[in-house]
């Protein structure tokens, strides 16, 4: 009897499982939806109760959007949005929106935000400003879903389909841009070669100028050294001349002193008779030829006693008396 009662009790209750990456809300038919968020695992339920299951991992949803560019050209786009519910707000999400919250909230707001952003941009900007446009759509979608208990992680632009005339214009534009890029590359390479050549020539000129400057400096150093050498030589020559002049003067002084000594010695050795004889010789040299010099009492003898031609054989002469 007890086993029968236990079987009836188990059959009256059920067991529900919340999978990993999911959360649940218990709905009691008598008390309504419960606020407590159920974690992954098995949970007992009543015979008429249930668990509302929510996938709380990031989900990706693609949307095909038909819109126009700023020029009014038709654009067919495929975009993707990555989203998930806010775990702490699952009760509000279920009571205000429900479990199909993407179809009710995110999808419509996503398409509307995309159309509004693309209408502000030229079709030429779609590839060049791809990331900027994605950020604009993401920011607008977050603004639109604020308070809707969902989290918008990212928006990506998956595919762009242009009208045939637009595609052709884009191909032509890309081809022109590629050609312009090649021309720009060629010009930049040529400019780089010219710059390198000018830098090389400037370096060569600098090296030549440095070499010339070093040569001038060496010449100046050589001239300075030569001037120093010439100065030393001139000073040496002047010193040599001074020394030579001093030597000559000393020699002359010594010679004069020797002669004076010799003369003094000779004077000391002279007798009165030798002195008289030298005096006569000096008078003879002073008077010259045909000159009569009378010394002592002979100086008072009349001139007629000495005819002018007597001593010189008829030549005229001059008589001198002391």
Residue 50's contacts (CB-CB under 8 Å, 6 or more residues apart) are 16, 27
Return per-residue pLDDT of the chain as tens, 322 residues.
Answer: 444 444 444 444 578 889 999 999 999 888 899 999 999 999 988 888 899 999 999 999 999 998 888 888 888 889 999 999 999 999 999 999 999 999 999 999 999 999 999 888 887 787 788 899 999 999 999 999 999 999 999 999 988 887 676 667 667 777 888 888 888 888 889 888 888 988 888 888 889 888 888 888 888 888 888 888 888 888 888 888 888 888 888 888 888 888 888 777 776 766 777 777 777 777 777 666 666 666 655 556 566 555 554 444 444 444 444 4
User: Judging by beta carbons within 10 Å of its beta carbon (0-12, 13-18, 19+), is residue 101 exposed, middle or buried?
Assistant: buried
This prediction has a pTM of: 0.49
- How far is the C-alpha of 153 from the C-alpha of 161, rounded, in Å? 25
pLDDT reported for residue 287: 66
- 96 token code pair: 């205000």
Residue 16 has what pLDDT?
Answer: 87
178/180 Cα distance (integer angstroms)? 5
CATH number for the domain running over 62-162:
3.30.479.30
Residue in the structure block whose two tokens are 């031609």: 309
pLDDT, residue 93, reads 94
DSSP string, 78-143: EEEEEEEE-GGGHHHHHHHT-S-HIIIIIHHHHHHHHHHHHTTS-TTHHHHTHHHHHHHHHHHHHH
| Pair 126, 166: CB distance under 8 Å | no
Give the integer Cα–Cα distance in Å for 217 and 225: 12
pLDDT attached to residue 149: 95
- Residue 139's pLDDT is what? 96
Of 159, 162, 160, nearest in space to 172 by CA: 162
| Annotated domain spans of the chain | 2-54, 62-162, 272-320
For 157-173, give the DSSP string: EEEEEE-HHHHHHHHHH
């Amino acid at each position: 009897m007890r086993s029968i009662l236990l079987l009836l009790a188990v059959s009256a209750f059920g067991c529900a499982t919340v999978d990993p990456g999911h959360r649940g809300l218990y709905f009691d038919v008598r008390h309504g939806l419960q606020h407590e968020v159920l974690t992954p695992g098995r949970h007992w339920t009543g015979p008429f109760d249930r668990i509302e299951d929510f996938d709380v991992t990031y989900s990706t949803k693609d949307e095909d959007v038909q819109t126009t560019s700023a020029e009014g050209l038709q654009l067919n786009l495929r975009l993707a949005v990555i989203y998930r519910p806010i775990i702490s707000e699952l009760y509000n999400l279920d009571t205000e929106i429900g479990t199909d919250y993407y179809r009710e909230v995110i999808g419509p707001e996503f398409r509307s935000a995309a159309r509004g952003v693309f209408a502000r941009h030229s079709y030429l900007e779609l590839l060049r400003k791809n990331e900027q446009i994605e950020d604009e759509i993401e920011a607008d979608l977050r603004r639109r879903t604020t308070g809707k208990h969902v989290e918008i992680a990212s928006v990506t632009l998956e595919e762009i389909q242009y009208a045939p005339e637009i595609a052709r214009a884009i191909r032509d534009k890309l081809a022109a841009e590629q050609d312009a890029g090649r021309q720009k590359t060629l010009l930049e390479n040529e400019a780089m070669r010219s710059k390198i050549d000018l830098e090389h020539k400037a370096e060569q000129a600098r090296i030549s100028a440095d070499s010339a400057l070093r040569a001038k400096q060496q010449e100046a150093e050589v001239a300075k050294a030569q001037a120093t050498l010439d100065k030393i030589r001139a000073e040496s020559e002047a010193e040599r001349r001074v020394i030579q002049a001093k030597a000559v003067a000393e020699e002359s002084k010594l010679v004069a002193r020797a002669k004076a000594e010799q003369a003094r010695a000779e004077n000391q050795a002279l007798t009165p008779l030798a002195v008289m004889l030298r005096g006569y010789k000096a008078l003879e040299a002073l008077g010259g030829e045909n000159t009569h010099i009378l010394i002592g009492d002979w100086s008072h003898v009349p001139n007629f006693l000495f005819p002018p031609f007597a001593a010189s054989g008829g030549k005229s002469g001059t008589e001198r008396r002391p």
